[in-house]
Amino acid sequence: MNHLFPTYNRWNIKVASAKGTKIIDDQGKEYLDFVSGIAVNNLGNRNEKVQQAILEQLDQYWHVSNLYHQEPQQIVAKMLTDYSDGDSVFFCNSGAEANEAAIKLARKFTGKSKIITFKQSFHGRTFATMSATGQEKIHSGFGPLLQEFSYLDYNDSEGLSNEMDDTVAAVLLEVIQGEGGVVPAEAEFLNKVEELCKQYNALFIIDEVQTGIGRTGKPFAYQNFNLSPDIITLAKGLGSGLPIGAMVGKSYLKEAFGPGVHGSTFGGNPISIAAAKATLEIIFQDEFLDEVVEKGEYFKSSLHEALAGVECVQEIRGSGLMLGISCHVDVTAIINSLRDKGLLVLNAGPNVIRMLPPLTVSKEEISQAIELIKIEMAHFEMLNPV
Ligand SMILES: *Cc1c(COP(=O)(O)O)cnc(C)c1O
């Protein structure tokens, strides 16, 4: 009996509890969690400081609506703007909603409608964000889509130069394509995007839904480059598992988002805001972020070493604790056996094994995961010689 729409291909795990880097099923089996609820639980499962903050807020007020001043929203907004290039924040409930807000704001502010995004991008499942997503399999059956989106080749500066003109309202991209295969943007390309946006009065929007909140060792992944986007969008890791999204934009954009222009009943919900505040207080610390960088480098170099002789491995890429092993083969079978052996990882397209451990992961846990991956890939290769 199943009363859910089958929109997810669910794993054969019934979750009983979760703590830190561990997920435990109803049989008592322990899994090493290198998924983090898809880049959400950046502090691991059930972080104690976040839990405490939620409990304290439960004793004050739950939902009152955005008709009221809520000081904690201001505090979280200040943290997001202090640590980014933005000045103003709009809170919502998900990544798609954050991108939806950014697309609406770009059209309203510029008075133009064309939005440029990239092939293999992922920006969400609502009509606007699905239309922004450069993947046919996500559009399939839902047409007609929202108009005036064009999908260019990622990392192709020349292609973008040819497409840019005065009709473009915004260019929207991820600095590492997550769902699209853990594909990093090149610095030169990103600088070109910013330059062309300035030249044609288009907004430069960076989707940090997956890459933000410390994932790459900076508060936001665009800070690994010399960039200053007009808007960044956030969600996933922001609330440590409570639903919250945010759009962070430059101050001149305020004029286009006045009272009644956009809104969200639950946006900036007090419980989610309490979780976000506690989350950012931990993650936006230099020592914490330095450790993410160090563990990420350790993870990547150890993976290179462990998988050196494995023929089906094409490339190991990504940054910080967002890594992908791109393979010449379909990785579904490998991911399934890793799960049976107690390691949870994700795919990103058919050929990439994606790893998103909590940022609090230990080096021992990273080593354990690598050992399992090494054994499993050698086993796979033995059964499927190239
Ligand atoms: C997950 C994701 C989204 C969509 O977020 P939802 O909260 O599922 O709506 C948008 N952009 C990127 C880059 C994502 O990884």
- What are the tens digits of pLDDT across the range 279-288? 999 999 999 9
Residue ranges for the known binding site for N(2)-acetyl-L-ornithine are 125, 264
Q: How confident is the model at residue 386 (pLDDT cuts 50, 70, 90)?
A: low
Q: How confident is the model at residue 1 (pLDDT cuts 50, 70, 90)?
A: confident
**Residue 363 domain-assigned (yes or no):** yes
Omega before 72 within 30 of 0, i.e. cis: no
- 290 plus 276 within the same structural domain: no
| The pLDDT of residue 336 | 97
- 347 plus 245 within the same structural domain: no
Whether 244 is in the pocket of ligand 1, judged by its Cβ within 6 Å, is no
Percent of residues, the chain, with pLDDT higher than 90: 98
- 299 plus 319 within the same structural domain: yes
- Site to substitute for ligand 1 among 97, 122, 222, most atoms within 8 A of C-beta: 122
The model's pTM: 0.98
Number of domains the chain is built from: 2
The whole-angstrom separation of Cα 215 and Cα 130 is 24
User: Does residue 208 sit in helix, strand or coil?
Assistant: coil
- 71 plus 175 within the same structural domain: yes
* CATH number for the domain harbouring residue 347: 3.90.1150.10
8: which residues sit within 8 A by CB, 6+ positions away? none
205 within 8 A of 231, measured Cβ to Cβ:
yes
Mean per-residue pLDDT, 145-153: 98
97 Cα nearest atom in ligand 1? 9
The whole-angstrom separation of Cα 271 and Cα 242 is 8
Mean pLDDT for all residues in the chain = 97
38 within 8 A of 178, measured Cβ to Cβ:
no
- 338 plus 254 within the same structural domain: no
**Sequence-ordered alpha helix ranges (H) in the chain:** 36-39, 48-58, 71-82, 95-110, 127-132, 136-139, 157-163, 187-199, 270-283, 286-306, 332-340, 363-383
129 Cα nearest atom in ligand 1? 10
Residue ranges for the known binding site are 95-96, 122, 125, 207-210, 264-265
Mean per-residue pLDDT, 297-317: 97
Whether 175 is in the pocket of ligand 1, judged by its Cβ within 6 Å, is no
